[in-house]
């Protein structure tokens, strides 16, 4: 059965920690079975505001594919493998935790007068547990500025993404839409469309048009191709997923 469910921004869970405000599309803060609350393969979808010079101290992950999308500001990354890097707006980062990795993420802006960073972080399960941890980053700003749909992270056969992930049934696409411009999102058993900024109209050509604004999401099941049109200038993220999560991390 085809399904298209709008999840308004205000229905997300909010959590405020030391220097971080997290707006969660799925239950995250606390002891949750992530797979039980997933949509398709998407286990975590956090929209974070990180104060200047603040962030998350060293903490451990395993058996997770973690994709980070920076909307504003820049975030530094360091991990137990010795990898260090900075991710800025217009860049995507993918980390395969493998059998285990410890890492920290910090807003690089100075504490006084610095910019609050906005970061979208998304988790999926890997195809198989274990393996070496790996960190990848790519700049997709120029591709996004051309106005079409950009495959920024994927493990699906036939895709040429900006960064690879270890899940062969999922792909993350992004687009920056000017008012009046339309992109077509690929058909999938599960889809998750998130409006990062701006306003869009969404239709699958069979049902009415859904209007989505900043922070709104559309969760789909077998809805066919989706036609997304910018009402105002907008940035969108869309997960194309061909399987569902079975177990918790």
Structural domain including 108 reads: 13-142
The pLDDT value recorded for residue 82 is 77
Looking at 99, 116, 142, the residue that finishes a domain is 142
Contact 151, 160 (CB under 8 A): yes
Along the 249 residues of the chain, how does pLDDT read in single tens digits? 789 999 999 999 988 888 999 999 987 776 667 888 899 999 999 999 999 999 888 888 889 999 999 999 999 988 777 778 899 999 999 999 999 888 899 999 999 989 999 999 999 999 999 999 898 999 999 999 998 999 999 999 999 999 999 999 999 999 999 999 999 999 999 999 999 999 999 999 887 789 999 999 999 999 999 999 999 999 999 999 999 987 544
The pLDDT value recorded for residue 248 is 47
Domain count, the chain: 2
* Domain co-membership, 180 together with 226: yes
* Domain co-membership, 108 together with 155: no
State the SS3 of 78-147: EECCCCEEEEECCEEEEEECCCCEEEEEEECCCCCCCCCEEEEEEEECCCCCCCCCEEEEEECHHHHHCC
Q: What is the CATH classification number for the domain harbouring 190?
A: 2.60.120.10
Closest CA to 44 of 61, 19, 57, 20: 61
Domain assignment present for residue 4? The answer is: no
How many angstroms separate the most distant Cα atoms in the chain?
Answer: 53
* Domain co-membership, 48 together with 81: yes
Residue-wise burial string across 72-98, b where 16 or more C-beta atoms lie within 10 A, e elsewhere = ebbbebbbeeebeeebebbbbbbbbbb
Q: Please state, as a whole number, how many other Cβ atoms lie within 10 Å of the Cβ of residue 211.
A: 13
* Domain co-membership, 117 together with 235: no
């Amino acid at each position: 059965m085809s399904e298209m469910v709008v999840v308004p921004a205000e229905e997300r869970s909010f959590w405020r920690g030391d220097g971080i405000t997290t707006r969660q599309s799925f239950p995250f803060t606390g002891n949750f079975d992530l797979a039980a609350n997933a949509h398709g393969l998407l286990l975590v979808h956090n929209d974070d505001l990180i104060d200047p010079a603040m962030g998350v101290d060293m903490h451990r992950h395993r058996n997770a594919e973690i994709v980070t999308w920076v909307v504003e500001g820049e975030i530094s990354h360091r991990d137990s493998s010795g990898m260090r890097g900075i991710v800025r707006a217009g860049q995507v980062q993918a980390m395969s935790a493998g059998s285990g990795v410890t890492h920290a993420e910090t807003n690089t802006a100075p504490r006084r007068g610095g910019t609050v960073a906005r970061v979208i972080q998304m988790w999926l399960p890997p195809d198989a547990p274990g393996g070496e941890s790996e960190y990848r980053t790519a700049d997709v700003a120029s591709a996004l500025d051309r106005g079409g749909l950009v495959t920024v992270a994927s493990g699906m056969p036939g895709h040429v993404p900006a960064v690879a992930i270890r899940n062969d049934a999922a792909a993350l696409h992004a687009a920056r839409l000017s008012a009046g411009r339309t992109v077509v999102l690929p058909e999938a058993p599960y889809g998750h469309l998130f409006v990062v900024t701006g306003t869009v109209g969404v239709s699958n050509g069979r049902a009415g048009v859904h209007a989505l604004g900043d922070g709104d999401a559309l969760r789909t099941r077998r809805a066919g191709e989706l036609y997304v049109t910018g009402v105002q200038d907008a940035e969108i993220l869309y997960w194309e997923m061909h399987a569902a999560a079975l177990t918790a991390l």
